[in-house]
Structure 1
Amino acid sequence: MPVSSLERLDALMASPATRSKRMLVIANPYATTMSDPLKDLVHHALRRRYEVEAVDTQRRGHATDLSRDAAAAGYDVVVAFGGDGTVNEVANGLVGSQTPLSVLPGGATNVYCRMLGIPNDVVDATEHLLDLADDLRPRAVDVASVNGRTFTFSAGVGLDASVVRLVDEHPRLKARLGPWYFAQAGISTFLRHYLVRPPRLAVRTADGRTLAGVSAFVQNAAPYTYFRRRPVHLADDAGLDSGEVTGVVLTRAGPLDIPTVIFRALSDRARIARHSKMETFQGRDLRVVSTDERPLPVQVDGDYIGDHSEAVFSVAPGALRVVA
């Protein structure tokens, strides 16, 4: 019989208790893989090596307020326990401070957690944090922002943000079907909004380039996301310490274009940035503007943040400290 996560956490708690570092664990109680028994056992296991305070989020933006207060109070590390939306909120509260972020995976995809090299299994990730207790060694990584909202790994203007908006309207289907619901939402969004008269936008870079298209994908790090276990690579050369964002513009979204774009996105060898309907860009500052007077949907780290006529991007090199 396979050993359950709860039994494995019980085993972790058998180790001797030594505490020196102050840790705040901010948990999203509604995250995809979260349960009260699992959460409680994780907290108890971490208390073997840390002075742990654990708080559940109660509203949108709550994790940002909690992490900002923790930084002001001098906590040694703040742990985001949830999905990428929770990580994003915690990062927004810690950016520019000396208090580092770490992650325990609790969502459906956990892109930033995996990107940092933290195990995507909550028990393995808990054990990893216990192993780091005596030597946290935070490192500085870049963050980017759009219209003042910090993001850790990716943002999108147009098609993918429209998909995220639709998925966010049906959280139960998102939790139950995971990436397959994203795929279905993507097909539905394309057929309804992009097959005929798609929105038009332009990416304007600091060096004077203007790239026209129907959707823009911006990366602070790679990959852009995951489809189950497979990384989805869009822009080449994206990195957490590059000092720039990197991205691609989808110049056209015809019915014959999208299947080949999807194939390249999921392929181990074919690079989407080299697709004939993609153009690449990079820089420290850039703007994405609507060119047909229709506001454009925007998402950051997989969360829809509204429709905007203009999306202004910038990079803050080394502005976030992480423990991984």
Structure 2
Amino acid sequence: MRTEEPGEAIAISRAGVGERAFSAVAVLGGDGAVNEVANGLAGTDVPLAPLPAGRTNVLCRSLGLPQDARGAAIALARAGGRLSTRRIGLGTVNGRAFTFFSGIGLSAMANRRLSGRGATGRTLGGHLFLYEALAVAASYLRDPPRLAVTVEDRETEIEGVTLIVQNGHPLTYLGRRPLPLCEGAGLETGTLSLAVLRRGSLQAAATITPLIALGRGAAVLARDDVASVPSMRRARVRTLDGRPLALEVDGDYLGELEAVDYGVLPRALAVVVPQARS
């Protein structure tokens, strides 16, 4: 079944579950398509079987699935009714679930720009995203919206200009190389991890982006202009200056909001994983 509109896969998945029409749902697409089906299946026993066909396919890689759609489909077909599954947690942002990460600010603006490149964006994937992040930083960080984060019931807010919230590890991939960032992130931890850039500057972007590209997430978190929270179950983000905040989930741009609430749903989604060899 081919989808044409944003959100359509959510509705189809939910309807199928309600009618008990599915024993499993295979989705051929990128991280955004997988996100929609995950939203439709969350909280049920119907497993998701992602087949990679997008820019980066972060969830597929994190689960150890074959990185070509044909190979993944063959593995799924050979399993027949003997699917191996595991349950993973999902992050939530204003009620929308995400599988591996959500961003506010710079990364969201970069993904909005990247989505306009169509097939080029899908082909170049992570390399093009890093280029777009630097290009967007040149304008975004001149005068970025200010935000404040309240983690759980802590009295002290974290102020900054852009942030990343991870549910899975790693943040993304560059080619075959995993790029970690937030400490403590994992699909089965039942918690989220957070990193906030406190101050915006072109110098910071020019330093941090290459560190992420080299897989040196720990060096990013060690900077005095970066705050991190390795484990949390909820957080609220609000604008400090009245300007709306750009938001994305799993690489898909969602729009601009003045307040965002993060949460986590432990063990909310069943996913198909490679069968152990006997």
Task: Give, as a single letter, the amino acid of the residue that structure 1 aligns with 2:241.
Answer: D
Q: Which runs of 4+ in 1 moved over 4 A?
A: none
Residue 61 of structure 1 is matched in structure 2 by 7
Q: Does the residue aligned with 2:202 lie in a helix, a strand or coil?
A: coil
Provide, for residues 65-112 of structure 1, a one-character-per-residue CA deviation record: whole Å limited to 9, x for no partner: 111122223321101111001000101100011111111101111011
Where structure 1 has 5 or more consecutive residues not aligned to the other structure, the ranges are: 1-54
Q: CA deviation at 1:257?
A: 1.6
CA separation in 1, counterparts of 2:217 and 2:143?
A: 29
- What TM-score, normalized to structure 2? 0.91
Residue 7 of structure 1 is matched in structure 2 by none
CA separation in 1, counterparts of 2:195 and 2:45?
A: 33
Residue 17 of structure 1 is matched in structure 2 by none
Deviates more, 1:94-103 or 1:174-183: 174-183
CA separation in 1, counterparts of 2:42 and 2:179?
A: 26
Q: CA deviation at 1:256?
A: 2.1
Q: CA deviation at 1:225?
A: 1.2
2:197 maps to 1:197 = no
2:216 maps to 1:279 = no
Residue 292 of structure 1 is matched in structure 2 by 241
Provide, for residues 9-47 of structure 1, a one-character-per-residue CA deviation record: whole Å limited to 9, x for no partner: xxxxxxxxxxxxxxxxxxxxxxxxxxxxxxxxxxxxxxx
CA separation in 2, counterparts of 1:104 and 1:231?
A: 19
Q: CA deviation at 1:113?
A: 0.7
Given that residues 180 and 217 in structure 2 are in contact (C-alpha distance below 8 angstroms), is that contact kept between their aligned partners in structure 1? no
Provide, for residues 155-180 of structure 1, a one-character-per-residue CA deviation record: whole Å limited to 9, x for no partner: 00111001111112332432354334
Given that residues 63 and 89 in structure 1 are in contact (C-alpha distance below 8 angstroms), is that contact kept between their aligned partners in structure 2? yes
Q: CA deviation at 1:128?
A: 2.1
Given that residues 71 and 98 in structure 1 are in contact (C-alpha distance below 8 angstroms), is that contact kept between their aligned partners in structure 2? no
Task: Give, as a single letter, the amino acid of the residue that structure 1 aligns with 2:192.
Answer: V
Task: Give, as a single letter, the amino acid of the residue that structure 2 aligns with 1:199.
Answer: P
2:86 maps to 1:150 = no
Q: How many residues align?
A: 269
CA separation in 2, counterparts of 1:105 and 1:182?
A: 18
Q: CA deviation at 1:134?
A: 3.9
Given that residues 134 and 205 in structure 2 are in contact (C-alpha distance below 8 angstroms), is that contact kept between their aligned partners in structure 1? no
CA separation in 2, counterparts of 1:270 and 1:310?
A: 27
CA separation in 2, counterparts of 1:270 and 1:106?
A: 27
2:262 maps to 1:316 = no
Q: Does the residue aligned with 1:128 lie in a helix, a strand or coil?
A: helix
Provide, for residues 280-315 of structure 1, a one-character-per-residue CA deviation record: whole Å limited to 9, x for no partner: 113111011111110000000000001011110010
Residue 16 of structure 1 is matched in structure 2 by none
Where structure 2 has 5 or more consecutive residues not aligned to the other structure, the ranges are: 274-278
Residue 235 of structure 1 is matched in structure 2 by 182
- What TM-score, normalized to structure 1? 0.79
Q: CA deviation at 1:268?
A: 4.1
Given that residues 203 and 216 in structure 1 are in contact (C-alpha distance below 8 angstroms), is that contact kept between their aligned partners in structure 2? no
Q: Does the residue aligned with 2:184 lie in a helix, a strand or coil?
A: coil
CA separation in 2, counterparts of 1:64 and 1:237?
A: 29
Residue 33 of structure 1 is matched in structure 2 by none
Q: CA deviation at 1:277?
A: 2.0
Given that residues 180 and 215 in structure 2 are in contact (C-alpha distance below 8 angstroms), is that contact kept between their aligned partners in structure 1? no
Task: Give, as a single letter, the amino acid of the residue that structure 1 aligns with 2:267.
Answer: G
Matches within 5 A, 1:251-262: 251-262=198-209
CA separation in 2, counterparts of 1:137 and 1:185?
A: 38
Summarize the Cα distance change of 1:94–1:172 in structure 2 as closer, same or farther, 3 Å threshold: same
Higher relative contact order (CA 8 A, sep 6+): 2
2:59 maps to 1:112 = yes
Q: Which has the larger radius of gyration?
A: 1
CA separation in 1, counterparts of 2:215 and 2:132?
A: 24
Q: Does the residue aligned with 1:311 lie in a helix, a strand or coil?
A: strand
Identity of matched residues, %? 37
Given that residues 103 and 247 in structure 2 are in contact (C-alpha distance below 8 angstroms), is that contact kept between their aligned partners in structure 1? yes
Summarize the Cα distance change of 1:118–1:278 in structure 2 as closer, same or farther, 3 Å threshold: same
CA separation in 2, counterparts of 1:269 and 1:234?
A: 8
Given that residues 233 and 266 in structure 1 are in contact (C-alpha distance below 8 angstroms), is that contact kept between their aligned partners in structure 2? no
Deviates more, 1:278-287 or 1:252-261: 252-261
